[in-house]
Amino acid sequence: MLVCFAALLSMPTEVSAQQRRRTTTSRRYNSRSRSRRTTTRRQPVHPRGAHYAQRVAEFNRTRPIDSTCIVMLGNSLTENGRDWCVLLDDTTVCNRGISGDTASGIKERLNQILPGHPRAIFMMCGTNDISHGHSAEKVFNMCCDLIDSIRVGSPTTRLYVQSLLPWNDSFRRWRTIEGRGDDAQLINNMLRSYCEQEEITFINLYPKFTLGDTNQLVKEYTVDGLHLTQLGYQIWAAQLKPYIEELNAKSPF
């Protein structure tokens, strides 16, 4: 009976130890699971979207901008030109366009461009700012803020401000800018006056893309009412080539 009594006393201790091992294992597992979930939740997401983050990361991986570079700076219209070296017949041209970008977005990423003091920047922006519901005057002011940031950040860089391009409302695809074609022309007029005042080269592309006396983009130049066909890019490049030739005549690379 003493032996049985001793066995009975030992059983709760053994069960308790097993329970403690299970509890400890469960806690460790749950801790690791919470840690994994926390890590997943904390993964950074760029506020401007995955494509934007991908482009910025791509720029960080490529050869940094330096004083030999000509930078094409803008939004999807610039990005979709893809190889501007071929379009402009110049190997020093760098495409720094990002789809969906705005004047403030471009300003935020000047730290990837201005420290290298490129010899020239061809800037275009404003259409996406219009799509965000901003007035023509506000878009103009944001463009001027970007222009001033470039000039202060790299005074030796030759800046070319390109006009906004028109779009074609008949495609009915870009509702946020539909009916606002006159605003694009109004912004262009204000930018031209500002550039004349500040002795900045303004390149008025707008008339080369409009249909007659309207504010509508020629259908043959666009794939969707806003973005350009290859023919559209050829027309754009033809307007820029004289400026590229002028740059190369002064400081060939």
Q: pLDDT digits over 90-139, tens only? A: 999 999 999 999 999 999 999 999 999 999 999 999 999 999 999 999 99
pLDDT at residue 9 tops 50: no
pLDDT band, residue 212 (cuts 50/70/90): confident
Please, which residues have CB within 8 angstroms of residue 193's CB and are 6 or more apart in sequence? Answer: none
CA distance 46 to 53: 6
CA distance 14 to 80: 71
Whole-model pTM: value is 0.81
Task: Tell me if 118 sits within 8 A of 69, measured CB to CB.
Answer: yes
CA distance 71 to 157: 10
